[in-house]
Structure 1
Amino acid sequence: MYSKYHKALCSTNKVYRCLCNGLVTDGSTPGATAPAGTGMPPKDARVVICGGGVMGASVAYHLGKLGWGKETVLIEQNRIGGGTTWHASGLIGVFKPSLSQVKLTKSSVDLYKELENKGLSTGWKQCGSLNIARTKDRMIVFKRMKAQSVSWEIDCEILTPEQCKEKCSLLRIDDIIGGLWIPGDGVGDPYETCLSIISEAKKWEFA
């Protein structure tokens, strides 16, 4: 349970600036000393982000980019990226159920590339993804995805079993019908990405 001091964060509208990478948790009282490397958050904020994982970090980054940095507080009870973020798979596929999700994924990939160009690590590697079809029904799904890819501007290619093996030489192809190759897919390091995004977020006039 947080102290009344921290509960007050969620009930006010006044403007303060603070980006915290730690929060005094259970048993804390107003005026208590925060752990080393952290900061006590103010009582008031326009936006309070609960959780310093990759999603919370991204929200802080984009709010800062929109000019809300001075009014945003990010609170994390342990360490940045220390929750579910650090053991996420990091797989990034651009094909999603809706166009809005596709645009979000593409925007994320662009951000990873931008961070890498600034010398900030994300672990991003555009290695592509190979999706395998072992049934006719699955192959029909791939063909529909290929048709949809035209309007969604996703680069992908229907492959024969032999072409699948060219992409992955260890693949056994005697029981597959074909595949779908998406060259824009890749993998990143969620923890490194989180730290890099937080590093950039702090530039948007957070205290």
Structure 2
Amino acid sequence: MPRRPRVTPSDPLTRILRAAGTARAGSSDYDLNPGVTLPEGRRLRPAAVLVAVDTGGDAPRVILTMRSSVMRHHPGQIAFPGGKQDAGDPDLHATALREAHEEIGLAPGSVEILADLPRHETVTGFDVTPVLARVTAPFTAVAEPGEVAEVFAVPLAHVLDPGRFRVEQRRWKGTWRRYYTVPFGPYYIWGATARILRVMADMAGRS
């Protein structure tokens, strides 16, 4: 059983952790598109991402990646480290930790898992569990060649501020699709990543 995470009044993650202990509906890529009817009985593939927060510096930061431009799916997009659950993964925490180790060189022993955030359904058919974690030791990011073009960090305060988010739209498969964005400097954070971050912002504001 994982040890109970450290929570103090000054901890920037306190409000999110408190909210994570209450029942909360998940999110999806379809949230801002109410006209979409999802088929009953659809089969989603389990996946997990690591929402890793580094609290070792002057201000806490969320670690993100830019996917390689040669990737078949979502090239060049901003994402959390993560991916689909493999047969050898005992659970989705293991999936998130394995993927983070492979993609950015973050060793599982340098991470403290804090909580599971509400699940997110993607248009590509994945049921994604965002695993909130704290980085507990200094590490040097090493991008996985061929999959990750860049590893960078965004201030936690930036992505917990609802005023930083915008709703935009683009044509997708012949129809307009609306989605959240939360730009940061040169990084255009949108889609599932922005939606999960928006859930975090809502949890922090309403807990």
Please indicate, yes or no, whether the TM-score normalized by the shorter chain is above 0.5.
Answer: no
Q: TM-score, normalised by structure 2?
A: 0.21
Q: TM-score, normalised by structure 1?
A: 0.21
Q: Which one has the bigger strand percentage?
A: 2
Q: Which one has the bigger helix percentage?
A: 1
